[in-house]
Amino acid sequence: MICHHGAGYSGLSFACFAKEISDTTKGECGVLAIDARRHGKTSSTEATEDEDLSIEVLVDDFCALMQTIYPDPAAAPTLLLIGHSMGGSVMVRSSPILLERKYRVTGVAVIDVVEGSAVDALPHMHSLLNARPDGFDTIEDVIEWHVSTKTIRNPTSARVSIPSIIKMETSPVLPYKWRTPLRSTAPYWLSWFQGLSKQFLASRTARLLVLAGTERLDNELMIGQMQGKFQLVVIPGVGHMVQEDDPTRLAEVLVEFWRRNERVIVGVKKVGDL
């Protein structure tokens, strides 16, 4: 399972989920969770940081990383691509590229992002970001803010994932700042989500959409669901950070999806095949 985080977060948002996967499959299935550029512990090899977070750049980064880790597609394991929010868009767009390069892709799983509602929400994003503090006195304050605002509802996961999304600056006032200030990513928001539903439904692999209880399908996905083009799972009692809020339930869903489609890709005939 290859996991790509959403905007402003890091690979560690999948840490508790990865432990659940390891425990559930008894190590049979591995998990790789990456940090995108300008996120987590990733840093530029250039003298200055490349600020570009457009979807094309993120997809290029991810596919290049896969080719670096698994230079021989024939020797690579089958890949289940899992992306949260912005990361879901990266995975959907990366899937056909990896398939073209002869990698085996078991499926694509998108966590809590729907093109229609994401695009509709963009005009309101700046007012939402105004409610976020610009900085914090301590790491504990950052964790407490996420939990108290229910941005992350699982304190255990917040303690693991939050330190990687902030950085310490020398300023004596509020020394802990966001590693990736979300307002700075505004020029790329539309590119992340526009066309996502169509590309998800066109994926030449198994498709899974996992939503928090509050999300709604757009028209394109609603039609696709009625046509049986993808599996839909709604997890109740969680917020947008599904993988952090309920890593146990998400792991159950993903392991079941992985086992079913792994069998298909390695040659077990589907019902009705001769």
Is residue 42 a contact partner of residue 35, using CB atoms and an 8 Å limit? yes
Indicate the residue type of 117.
Answer: S
Q: Which candidate in 13, 39, 61, 85 is catalytic?
A: 85
176-178, strands of its sheet edge to edge = 135-136, 176-178, 166-168
Distances in whole angstroms, Cα of residue 28 to Cα of each of 22, 246, 255: 7, 21, 11
Q: Of 204, 211, 256, nearest to 88 (Cα)? A: 211
Is 171 one of the annotated active-site residues of the chain? no
C-alpha 168/C-alpha 95 separation (Å) is: 36
User: Which listed residue (4, 157, 240, 246) is catalytic?
Assistant: 240
Cβ neighbours of residue 86 closer than 8 Å, sequence gap 6 or more: 5, 6, 7, 58, 113, 192
Taking the CB of residue 147, how many other CB atoms lie within 10 A of it?
Answer: 17
Rounded to whole angstroms, the Cα distance separating 39 from 94 reads: 19
Catalytic residue among 112, 157, 161, 246: 112
124 among known catalytic residues: no
Asked about 39 being catalytic, the answer comes back as no
Supply 167's token pair: 């950085």
List the catalytic residues: 85, 112, 240
